[in-house]
Amino acid sequence: MALILNLGPQDQSQIDVWEVERVKLLFVLVTLANINLSLNAQPVLHHINFTLLEGQCWLILGANGAGKSSFLKLVRGDLWHNPNEGVRTYFFTDPARTSPIGAKEQIAFVSPELQDRHSRLGLWVTGVDVVRSGFEQTDFVPTKLSSHQETRVTNLLQDFNLEHLRDKPVLEMSKGQLRRILLARALVGEPKVLMLDECFSGVDPESKKHLMQVVNGAAKAGLTVLYTTHREEEKLEATTHELKLERGRIVQEFQAISPIKPRRAETRASKKTVPLIEIHNADVYLGNPVGNETAPDGSGEPTKKLVLQNINLTISSGEHWAIVGHNGAGKSTLSKLILGELEPALGGTVKRFGLDRMPIWQRQSRIGLISSDTQVRHRVAANGETVVASGFFGSVGWIYPLEKNQKTRVAELLEKLEIAHLAQKSALETSHGELKKLLIARSLVTNPDIVILDEAFDYLDAHSRKLLFDLIETESDRTQFVTVAHRLEDIPRLSTHALRLKGGRIAFSGEIKNLEWGANNSALLTVS
């Protein structure tokens, strides 16, 4: 049972509560008193004092690496604070206890790590399987659900407009689709608290709008919510409190996030017309090993899904492209086709730098890629300097001895992205945003001809996004950038051309000045 506070007039002035003048009884869920947290002997959070009351909606602010994710995990009980340094108390049970047992099960969490884990598992579980697992907060459904629980799952899928994803394998879902399924998973067990770590990042405007509506409605209905974001437009209407972290410390006095003005895409004329990437009549299929289905001709081959159809694209030197479209439109698949991780079906062709075939090591040195997949692969026990330098060798987590010019290049990129302090820090200890900045540096370290930025601005704070824009401007004289994005503000000013995908087909291809932006700065409309 939660602790009840009977507030007098003098107490109400000390506790900022949404519509506090009408609230006489408040339920305390969690208190943190003078807590310090270290990970691998490195201090992460310092002297944390925090009280979570039932019905509050907290926005947790801070730059990449400020400690936001660690703070959420500390509140939930996923991380243990330093022994004899502060007290953490949970009031979910009677009597209250310092252990999260009994409380953690009532705190649902959606985070980039959770989404990465479901993608990394590589299991052909369906959307309904994932939602069902939310009752036990496990990767699998350990026991048969009751009829009441099955009804809860069905109703939730209907309420969230997710019925079309019920039997769809997770491995075939777009990032936005999986995010919505994971939110349904978090809410299916009717938790007391919902935690969201950058839940609205990395999805198209339509998916983001839906996610925000669901969470906003739940918060207004009384669900306690803690969430993080770097973007002003992702602030929930139901937000009651804001907390800002700086270098692991809570800042009591702060200004709200300033709106981030969209960056206008400007055309930069190019005098060069040498083709770098030439894609003609390319269809791309992805396999689906579910069941015993065979091809229509009875060949026994696994059924394959057509993801990209009749793709024709030429990227020439001097051109910088933007690729836009809804989640599931095929943007990331097109990125892998350009890189060479995927090849077209019979009848389609891809030439890279005028060659029909190219050794993988040569492709990796001339085409850089930053994507959610690379983020998952590089969460390893290697320090930041090694992560960046591994771009020279196309490796993950190891490098050969570096030459002097290679060391200079690594140091240069670490300095430009202001992450020199991560040089000796393990990638396992970095935040999602910090690791992304290391991987951006890795993609540029070889001075490649092309760098594909697949939603590279997601999870970056405003200052880090500016650093990346500045770095793109600096590197653009020798590198062509292909930016996969959902927002106008995430497309570099120097972009000259744009391609919009819809349902795996090209809906628009041409100069970016002819691309019309729809509501919420989403590239959904084009000039005919």
What pLDDT digit, counting tens, does each position of 6-44 carry? 444 344 333 343 333 333 334 789 999 999 999 988 999
Q: How far apart are CA 244 and CA 148, in angstroms?
A: 41
Q: How far apart are CA 205 and CA 191, in angstroms?
A: 27
pLDDT for 517: 67
pLDDT for 387: 94
List the one residue out of 342, 265, 334 whose CA is nearest residue 501.
334
pLDDT for 519: 55
Query: How many CB atoms are closer than 10 A to CB 241?
Result: 15
71-89 mean pLDDT:
93
116 band by pLDDT with thresholds 50, 70 and 90: confident
Task: Count Cβ neighbours within 10 Å for each residue of 372-397 and write b for 16 or more, e otherwise.
Answer: bbbbeebbeebbbbbbbbbbbeeeee
Same CATH topology for 3-251 and 318-343+364-521: the answer is: yes
Quick one: how far is CA 42 from the chain centroid? Answer: 25
List the one residue out of 2, 24, 63, 469 whose CA is nearest residue 254.
63
Q: What is the mean pLDDT of the chain?
A: 83
Q: What is the pLDDT of residues 226-271, one digit of tens each?
A: 999 988 889 998 888 899 999 999 986 443 333 333 334 334 444 4
Domain ranges of the chain: 3-251, 318-343+364-521
* DSSP-based three-state secondary structure for 356: coil
* Helices within 15-170 (DSSP H only): 68-76, 112-121, 127-132, 147-159
CATH for 3-251 is: 3.40.50.300
**For the whole prediction, is pTM greater than 0.85?**
no
CATH for 318-343+364-521 is: 3.40.50.300
